[in-house]
Amino acid sequence: MEYITCKKCGCQMSPMSEACPMCGTPTNEDAHTVNSSPKNETEKYEQIPNVSIFKNGKRVYWGVAAVLTILFIVYVGYNIGNRQDKGKENVTSIQQTNSEQRDTFKREIPLKAYRNNKKMTEADIKEVFLQHWKHYKDDREFIPLETCSEGYNIFIGDLNGDGIDDAVVNAYVTPSTKEISNNDYEGKSYIFCFLNDGETYKLTTATKLHTMFFVDDIDNGEIHAHRIEYMKRMNDGKRIAVKDSHVFKYDGDKLVDLGGTKRTVDEEENSQIKRRSGSVELSEGYFYRYEGDMKGFPIKVDFGVLPNGVINGEYHNVKYGTVLDLVGQIISEKSLQLVGENQNEKIVFELSFSSPEHLKGYGKMGNNSLEVKLKLISSEVINDSH
């Protein structure tokens, strides 16, 4: 079969075609005829579509390959991005955790160090002590001394060996009414132990001593204190002062007396236990003589005021000749209590004064209370003759 060739695109076509099937150019007489054997014609016919299919297959292959490559790149990029984001989140989380730990560390350590080393002032100790004293006071009063006008002293030192300053308050007080009723007229002292917990001082023990002890200092967890007692020598009867030193050890909820030593001292060493004469007005170390009456009966009262406010003397009923030994105690700045007693009689005197020149009050004999008025006759420093 003969074919004709399109002049424009070179496509072979049937001579019966009115136009080129490829480019649409109309056929005419100028289109030339191509002779070919049946075999060549068949091969040419078959080869043209195969070449087109092959070319089209290559295009599809490369297209698919390009799409897959793009998808792979996108996939890899996405995973890398996720990993980086997660890494950043982890790093941020770790940084936040570390920051929080550092903040916690900063908050805890300085606070702990602060609590262990907080310095309390004497004003802090005084406030805490006076709050607790309300529960121990009863009807006692502080005894003001020349070197301690408030009636108590504050000492700071380590009591329990933890290296932190604790506190001891040494209070000097009058005997209670109950103690006086039992003929105990001697002044007392308390030792309050406070431990420092970093925020405040907490009371751990309060110990009442039978007489007035004076704390000297706190040394290696031990409380060093002393008292002064007076006695007469056997050979010449001279009055001497003896310093009785004791060591007390804080032990949990109690104060343990470890004992001590005694030695004679000059009375000048005991200046701190002298009462403030300006406020008490009846001065320690003086002997007073009074005259007056007790419900119309003339009486004489002589007594000396010893250290710690202790009173020793004598009562004399001029009319009946009755003599009683007097012992007593200055109770407050303006009052004192005396007990006169012999084998047959006992009188309890409760007296007050605005000045040493006049004493007034009552003498109680059983259920009877007799009014007492006394006027000062003389006063002098106590010596060996009294």
Helix (H) or strand (E) holding 230: strand 222-232
Q: What is the pLDDT of residue 81?
A: 65
pLDDT digits (tens, 9 = 90+) for 238-284: 767 788 899 999 887 888 898 888 888 764 444 444 444 444 468 87
Q: Count CA atoms closer than 13 A to 385's CA, side-chain side.
A: 3
| pLDDT, position 9 | 84
Rounded Cα–Cα distance for residues 69 and 165 (Å): 79
Percent of the chain with pLDDT over 90: 23
**In which band, very low, low, confident or very high, does the pLDDT at 210 lie, cut at 50, 70 and 90?**
confident
* Chain mean pLDDT for the chain: 77
pLDDT of residue 116: 47
Distances (CA, A) of 152 to 126, 144, 156, 191, 272: 10, 8, 14, 10, 12
Query: Per the structure block, which two tokens stand in for 183?
Result: 């003929």
Output the CA–CA distances (angstroms, integers) from residue 86 to 72, 219, 324, in the order listed: 21, 63, 102
Structure confidence at residue 114 as a pLDDT band (50, 70, 90): very low
Token duo for residue 101: 């730990």
| Residue 308, CA distances (Å) to 174, 181, 223 in order | 9, 18, 21
Whether the per-residue pLDDT at 192 is higher than 60: the answer is yes
Alpha carbon distance 218, 224 (integer Å):
6
Average pLDDT over residues 5-25: 80
Query: What's the pLDDT at 271?
Result: 45
DSSP per residue, 174-227: PPPHHHHHTT----EEEEEEEEE-SSSEEEEEEEEESS--EEEEEETTEEEEEE
3-class DSSP state for residue 364? strand
The percent of residues above 70 in pLDDT, for the chain, comes to: 74
Count of residues in the chain: 386
Q: Tell me the average pLDDT across 146-150.
A: 78
pLDDT-based confidence at residue 51 (cuts at 50, 70, 90): very low
Q: How far apart are CA 353 and CA 292, in angstroms?
A: 14
Q: What is the pLDDT of residues 296-342, one digit of tens each?
A: 899 999 999 887 778 999 999 998 899 999 998 888 777 888 999 98
Candidate from 179-188, 221-230, 289-298 with smallest mean pLDDT: 179-188
Look at residue 33 in the predicted model and tell me its pLDDT. 44
For residue 115, what are the β-bridge partners?
Answer: none
- Is residue 8 very low, low, confident or very high in pLDDT (cuts 50, 70, 90)? confident
